[in-house]
Amino acid sequence: MSKIDNNKINLKLFLISMLFILIVSNLENSTIKAEELYPYNNEKEEYSTAYLCSLFDDLDNKVNNGKGYSEYLNIDGFPTGALLAWSESHLMQGYVNMFRATSDIKYLDKLYDHIKQVLSNRDDNIGKKDYKGELVPCWGTDRFTKNREWMHFAVHTGMITYPMLEFVQLVRESGIEKYFDYAQRILKQVEESIEYHDKDLKIDHYVYPEDFYKRDYIIPISQQSAMGRSLILLYELTGKEEYLNKVKYLARFIKNKSVIEYDKDSYLLRNAFIPGKNMPESKIIDISHATVTIHFAYLAYKNNIVFDKKDMQRFAKTIKKLAINNSNRFPKFLDGTGNFDYEVTAGQYAFLSEFDEEIYTSIIDLFFNHLKIDKTAKYMQEDWWGTVMLGLSRLALFENTFE
């Protein structure tokens, strides 16, 4: 072999060696880590309660300097026209969950500030009369009536009052004396709001006001459920049998009229009624409105009212199937049909992690890998921002369940 051939071989070996060294060096210094390639191998460490709380606080402070939408009227907001019901109420529930998750009094203090502001803007307190010229102890809107008449809807009352009652519950459970007196005043005012809708209660379900809408026009199941949640807490906090009886009738109505067995191990839900009909339409509910109904079922289960653990396991199975069949994304309807327009609301289902921890994992993947809420949530419309805050808080609350 010639000297020239030897030199060529040596050069090739040298180049190969240098290439190998370069590759190894790049791999050692690479910023690509296993948890980035497989994001939920370490979700319990990466998305700890401390991290979720930090993100919650950051997003909270970015909206009206931490005041959320507490200073607004219910009519405000796009696209819902019910800003207090569909955004502020979610944030207030978020404060409840964050206090439960951390025992940090700052969340209870914030909840107090928000409730105080929202109650001060109740229609009877600001002199805003309804379509009959009456002052009503609720929060009205004109966005859902034909000629912009000012009305008060049971669903809005239920959504707004539920976290207020949670505040009263937390004050009592935690023995926080500085809020004792105010908690009692909140309880009295919420009772006024809920009892206003007794005129529209037909033993086991609510209807739209009959002096305005068609007779026997039953409100959707999700709206019944919003009132049901507040009734459950009113019973827990007052011990009044009238609230328990209302809840029992309402829970049976919801289970009998709405719940459909699906694939033997899961449930679907119907929701809306046709005026004059006592059975909902066959259309399956979307995942956004279903959050309230399934959460009502969860609270009823916790209080041994109509729904049991098997029911909750079936609801959990429904949500898990949506995630599994769509790589941890969530279609619009509970039966797996539709686009992904409502998937941001799926974070609210974190409470079902109690029955299947894979739901927690799926929501973490949805929030941080698909939606990237740590970067996008602050730009979302008001109602989506509110549901993200509630979802985050429920993740934080249930994060330690699987330790």
pLDDT at position 78: 63
pLDDT over 70 percentage in the chain: 87
Mean pLDDT of all residues in 369-385: 93
CA distance linking residue 143 with residue 141, whole number of Å: 6
Domain parsing of the chain, residue ranges: 50-200+374-403, 202-371
Strand partners of residue 266: 262
pLDDT over 90 percentage in the chain: 79
pLDDT at position 19: 44
Tell me if 293 sits within 8 A of 221, measured CB to CB: yes
pLDDT per residue as tens digits for the range 34-52: 233 334 344 555 899 999 9
Tell me if 346 sits within 8 A of 330, measured CB to CB: yes
Question: Could you tell me which residues come within 8 angstroms of residue 163 by beta carbon, excluding any fewer than 6 positions away?
Answer: 89, 92, 93, 95, 96, 111, 115
pLDDT at position 213: 86
pLDDT at position 329: 97
pTM recorded for the entire structure: 0.88
Nearest residue to 117 (alpha-carbon basis) of 64, 153, 192: 64
Q: Is 149 left (phi over 0), alpha (psi -120 to 50) or beta?
A: beta
Task: Write down the residue that tokens 């976290």 correspond to.
Answer: 163
The mean predicted confidence, pLDDT, of the chain is 89
pLDDT per residue as tens digits for the range 270-313: 999 999 999 999 999 999 999 999 999 999 999 999 999 999 99
Q: Is the pLDDT of residue 10 over 50?
A: no
Strands 259-262, 266-269: pairing kind: antiparallel
Residue 29's CB is within 10 A of a number of other CB atoms, namely 7
Q: Is the pLDDT of residue 1 over 60?
A: no
- 370-377 CB contacts, 8 Å cutoff, 24+ apart: 370/328, 370/329, 370/343, 371/343, 371/344, 373/55, 373/344, 374/55, 377/59
Mean pLDDT of all residues in 144-157: 92
Q: Is the pLDDT of residue 23 over 50?
A: no
Tell me if 79 sits within 8 A of 381, measured CB to CB: yes
Mean pLDDT of all residues in 66-75: 92
DSSP string, 93-151: HHHHHHHHHH--HHHHHHHHHHHHHHHHTSHHHHT-B-TTS-B-SS--BSTTSTT---B
pLDDT at position 46: 82
216 or 113: which leads in pLDDT: 113
pLDDT at position 32: 31
Q: Is 81 left (phi over 0), alpha (psi -120 to 50) or beta?
A: left
CA distance linking residue 362 with residue 40, whole number of Å: 9
Range of weakest confidence among 29-38, 91-100, 141-150: 29-38
